[in-house]
């Protein structure tokens, strides 16, 4: 699964920062051994064969009945999620997604564990566009992966002595905004940094503004729309970004403007599950090979 | 999205060649139980890894702690 391969990618950075990483599922050891050797996974893939730990945590998927998908071991799977624990096994943070197919990306797990801001990945495509403001756009991952939530990071540089209006500013000002569009992606809400209050000419109350360099980030996820049957999987996705703003200094305001850019995002090789129908076959093959009862 | 009317698209726009009624595609309610909360101690974990070695997570943590990921299956 993509998520485990991404975790392998951040394992070293996590360990350097003093965090070890563990993955837990109800897969039998043999299935995990098979997967680990195929994808070079070196961190522990723990086998909670009877879902005892999953039940202990209280996160067993209750929507699956015991009689469903028995050959696939559906019964006993956890709701997928991540716990961040300190050295006393106390939860310091956690991350569960309501949708079973959605995952946090490797870089967001790393940033969250380390309590750092997500950075633009140096191997990812990035672009700079200049106008009244400088805008640079990049991705948190070298490439987007299906149903993995990455971050689109938009750095905006407002010239010295100028300010742009933030959310909450009066309607007569065009507030800083970001619009993102592309086929086959899902975009989440923009996270803006905190604005600062400012006394503006001609207005009695303080107005929320941004100055200097600020970063907006948006969750970006490739949806299965890109891999519909009968279509080739594209190697890149063109993502259009538009930043709207209005700049003012202490005396006057410029007209509202828009800066547009197109980011070419690489689509990563998908680590596709070997398929629902082949699971039972694979278990049988492993049983024949090892002489062990896997199910 | 008109695709949501299609039985293969769920309310979030996810597509899969399986009917929505299949067990693995059912959605938990919002606010579903997600186990120990921030500040609570997690249950102890001692399980075999992919090499068959018993790993006790509490004894294998890094100097600052660990990341514990629960996932559905490595295989499907």
Q: What is the pLDDT of residues A12-22, one digit of tens each?
A: 999 999 999 99
Whether chain B has a CB inside 8 Å of the CB on A96: the answer is: yes
Same structural domain, A107 and A228: no
What are φ and ψ of residue A125, in 5° steps? -65, 140
List chain A residues with CB under 8 Å of B13: 186, 223, 225
Closest CA to B1 of A148, A180, A224, A149: A224
Within a domain: residue A196?
yes
On whether the CB atoms of residues A226 and A233 are closer than 8 A, the answer is: yes
**Res. A280 pLDDT band, cuts 50 70 90:** low
Q: Give the range of the structural domain holding residue A96, as residue numbers without chain letter.
A: 2-116
Q: Closest to A80 (Cβ–Cβ): which among B36, B42, B71?
A: B71
State the smallest CA–CA distance between residue A30 and chain B in angstroms: 7
A74/B50 Cα distance (integer angstroms): 20
pLDDT single digits (tens) A185-196? 889 889 999 999
On whether the CB atoms of residues A290 and A30 are closer than 8 A, the answer is: yes
Within a domain: residue A149?
yes
Same structural domain, A262 and A133: yes
User: Facing residues of B32 across strands?
Assistant: none
Same structural domain, A192 and A79: no
Within a domain: residue A273?
no
Q: Please judge whether A44 and B27 are an interchain contact, meaning their C-beta atoms are less than 8 angstroms apart.
A: no
Which range scores top for mean pLDDT: A47-61, A202-216, A245-259, B43-57? B43-57
Q: Across the A/B interface, how many CB contacts are shorter than 8 Å? A: 245
- Burial class, B71, CB count within 10 angstroms (exposed 0-12 / middle 13-18 / buried 19+): buried
The residue out of A82, A116, A150 marking a domain boundary is A116
Same structural domain, A157 and A72: no
pLDDT single digits (tens) A96-112? 865 555 666 777 788 77
Whether chain B has a CB inside 8 Å of the CB on A66: the answer is: no
Structure tokens at B2: 């008109």
* Sequence-ordered list of residues with C-beta below 8 angstroms from that of A201, at least 6 positions apart, any chain: A250, A251
The residue out of A95, A116, A137 marking a domain boundary is A116
The residue to which tokens 């007209």 are assigned: A255
Within a domain: residue A85?
yes
Within a domain: residue A250?
yes
ipTM score assigned to the predicted complex: 0.74
Same structural domain, A70 and A166: no
In this predicted model, which residue has the larger pLDDT, A193 or A141? A193
State the smallest CA–CA distance between residue A24 and chain B in angstroms: 5
Within a domain: residue A40?
yes
Whether chain B has a CB inside 8 Å of the CB on A22: the answer is: yes
Same structural domain, A59 and A163: no
Region at A202 (left for phi over 0; alpha for psi -120 to 50; beta for the rest): left
Within a domain: residue A295?
no
Q: Please judge whether A273 and B73 are an interchain contact, meaning their C-beta atoms are less than 8 angstroms apart.
A: yes
Q: How many domains, in total, are found in chain A?
A: 2
CATH number for A80? 3.40.30.10
Structure tokens at A254: 């410029």
Q: Please judge whether B34 and A33 are an interchain contact, meaning their C-beta atoms are less than 8 angstroms apart.
A: no
CA angle A27/A31/A35 to nearest 5° reads 115
Same structural domain, A105 and A176: no
Q: Please judge whether B47 and A72 are an interchain contact, meaning their C-beta atoms are less than 8 angstroms apart.
A: no
Q: Please judge whether B38 and A186 are an interchain contact, meaning their C-beta atoms are less than 8 angstroms apart.
A: no
Within a domain: residue A290?
no
Q: Measured between alpha carbons, how far is residue A19 from residues A22, A88, B40, B43, B44 in Å?
A: 10, 13, 18, 18, 17
Tell me which H or E stretch contains A138: strand A134-139
Same structural domain, A180 and A206: yes
Same structural domain, A83 and A166: no
pLDDT value at A163 more than 90: yes
């Amino acid at each position: 699964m993509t998520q485990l391969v991404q975790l392998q990618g951040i394992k070293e950075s996590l360990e350097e920062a003093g965090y070890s990483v563990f993955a837990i599922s109800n897969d039998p050891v043999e299935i995990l051994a098979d997967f680990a050797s195929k994808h070079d996974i070196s961190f522990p893939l723990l086998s909670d064969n009877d879902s005892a730990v999953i039940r202990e945590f209280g996160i067993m998927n209750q929507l699956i009945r015991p009689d469903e998908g028995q050959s696939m071991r559906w019964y006993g799977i956890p709701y997928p999620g991540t716990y961040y624990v300190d050295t006393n096994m106390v939860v310091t943070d956690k991350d569960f997604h309501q949708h079973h197919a959605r995952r946090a990306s490797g870089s967001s797990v790393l940033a969250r564990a380390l309590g750092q801001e997500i950075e633009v990945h140096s191997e990812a495509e990035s672009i700079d566009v200049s106008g009244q403001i400088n805008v640079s756009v990049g991705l948190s991952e070298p490439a987007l992966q299906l149903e993995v939530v990455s971050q689109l990071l938009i750095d905006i540089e407002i010239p010295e002595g100028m300010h742009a209006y933030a959310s909450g500013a009066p309607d007569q000002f065009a507030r800083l905004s970001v619009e993102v569009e592309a086929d086959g992606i899902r975009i989440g809400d923009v996270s803006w940094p905190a604005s600062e209050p400012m006394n503006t000419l001609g207005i009695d109350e303080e107005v929320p503004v941004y100055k200097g360099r600020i970063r907006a980030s948006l969750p970006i996820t490739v949806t299965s729309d890109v891999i519909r049957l009968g279509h080739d999987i594209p190697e890149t996705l063109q993502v259009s970004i538009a930043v709207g703003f209005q700049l003012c200094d202490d005396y006057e305001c410029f007209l509202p403007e828009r800066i547009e850019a197109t980011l070419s995002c690489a689509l990563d090789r998908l680590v596709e599950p070997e398929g629902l129908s082949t699971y039972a076959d694979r278990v049988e093959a492993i049983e024949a090979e090892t002489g062990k009862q896997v199910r | 999205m008109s695709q949501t009317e299609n039985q293969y698209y769920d309310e979030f726009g996810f597509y899969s060649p399986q009917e929505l009624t299949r067990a693995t595609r059912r959605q938990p309610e919002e606010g579903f139980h997600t186990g120990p909360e921030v500040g609570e101690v997690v249950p102890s974990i001692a399980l075999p890894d992919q090499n068959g070695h018993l790993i006790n997570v509490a004894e294998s943590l890094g100097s600052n702690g660990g990341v514990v990921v629960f996932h559905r299956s490595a295989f499907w």
